[in-house]
Structure 1
């Protein structure tokens, strides 16, 4: 585009120079005519005629040359105008494309923002779910309370009779989930408020009575008792107790009573948490 403009300027300058030369040539012809009028007697008429014809041909050639130059200038001007129009259209197209690109970038940014927000929400949900699962697992572990034990870890023999009531210590522990049962003291201590199930089994030989009592905080809950003149004695009992945190449950062998145990684990004490209470 800049090259075409420069070419037009050069052509216009060239035309101006040619016009100037033509004008200058005409002035010289006028001077020559004056000289010929003074010296006409010395020049033959034929020579003047030839000069006039040459001058006419020169003006005709200049006229044709100027016509061609003007035609070329008009064609170049039209080309430049067309190129300007094309350039304006290209500029408008580029501007429209830039606008479309900016709009697309805005939409992409909005979509990215929405995606990030959704990802953050999902992450929060996963985090909350994970924390909830951890808390639930911990709560479930806290709720996992169960135990079962028998009297003797080895050997066999009688326990009792005694002159006073005694707390039986079930030392052969089968299960003690939550460690709420103490095999040294024979006492179960409630770690949580809830409903607990307890069972006791008794085995002995007659004629001495066999009896065991499930006691809550020193008070009788249930009794498992068997009386027979001879042979084996068997009894069992169970109870659901509502315990507060720190309540204790244990088994008492009454005074004058006797039980027997061996590797068959006839005498057992068991309990577990059924559900929590508020």
Structure 2
């Protein structure tokens, strides 16, 4: 502003001088006046320049202070930005870790669901197998018997073979054994197990037992008592029978057998499995 004022004053002086020249030239007084004005303007210009220098220094100092302040603020902003970036990086790492954990958890859930499905399938399969076994067991006939001969003591000898009638019933599941006839009748086609045991305790006596399948003799088990002792014979067989086949024991002719409350002479059998 001060420079602009000085410049305007100089222009005014020039305009006035030109006007004086056009009107007939300058007089000595005019020249003197002009010189005085020039000196005045020179003094003003000098004063203006003198006044401008402190103002520029002040403005430079102010600008420097502003630059320094801005630099400080910029540095603070950069530090804050660095801290924010570090936080963002840490957050990104945490997010990546959380995503990895979530993915692992989801995979674990999927595995558990798969295992659960497999377990359900196995349980269902096992339940079906159990039901099938229960149904087969319910449908399968239950056949088992175990009987003793008598409490009366000695039976025999006889002049011909006789079928032994075991009268003491210990077990007769399925009622396949008939104590009145001494005959076991197979209720179903299948594989059966049979066992017998016979004893004699009189001197010089023979004990002989025959096992029959229908009319076919399977075995003859016999022995003789000597020296005031006793003998025991026994045997066992697994036989495949058709429905209606019969199994029974015959006492061999001229032989005897002994039984009492201690059940020395017995006959047993049961169904292994149907066919």
Q: Which of the residues 30, 38, 51 maps onto 2:5? A: 30
* C-alpha distance in structure 2 between counterparts of 1:240 and 1:124, whole Å: 43
* Change over 3 Å in CA distance of 1:116–1:57 after alignment to 2: same
What is the deviation of 1:170?
1.6
CA offsets 1:105-141 (integer angstroms, 9 cap, x no match) = 3234335544665676678778878988996xx98xx
- Is the counterpart of residue 91 in structure 1 residue 88 in structure 2? yes
Larger Rg over CA atoms:
2
- Confirm or deny: 8 A CA contact 1:201 1:224 kept in the other structure: no
- Is the counterpart of residue 68 in structure 1 residue 65 in structure 2? yes
Structure 1: any 5+ residue segments left out of the alignment? Answer: 1-25, 42-47
CA RMSD of superposed structures (Å): 5.9
* Change over 3 Å in CA distance of 1:97–1:234 after alignment to 2: closer
**With structure 2 as the length reference, what TM-score do the two structures score?**
0.52
CA offsets 1:217-266 (integer angstroms, 9 cap, x no match) = 244334467899xx999774635352225333122468998766433445
* C-alpha distance in structure 2 between counterparts of 1:206 and 1:86, whole Å: 116
- Confirm or deny: 8 A CA contact 1:222 1:237 kept in the other structure: no
* Change over 3 Å in CA distance of 1:180–1:240 after alignment to 2: farther
* C-alpha distance in structure 2 between counterparts of 1:62 and 1:262, whole Å: 141
Q: How does 1:28-177 map to 2 (within 5 A)?
A: 30=5, 57=54, 60-114=57-111, 117=114, 147-152=145-150, 154-155=151-152, 167-174=163-170, 176=171
* Change over 3 Å in CA distance of 1:91–1:249 after alignment to 2: same
Match of 2:177 in 1: 182
**With structure 1 as the length reference, what TM-score do the two structures score?**
0.51
CA offsets 1:11-46 (integer angstroms, 9 cap, x no match) = xxxxxxxxxxxxxxx369939x96xx9xx99xxxxx
- Confirm or deny: 8 A CA contact 1:207 1:227 kept in the other structure: yes
* C-alpha distance in structure 1 between counterparts of 2:113 and 2:78, whole Å: 52
**SS, match of residue 70 in structure 2:** helix
* C-alpha distance in structure 1 between counterparts of 2:126 and 2:72, whole Å: 79
Aligned length: 237
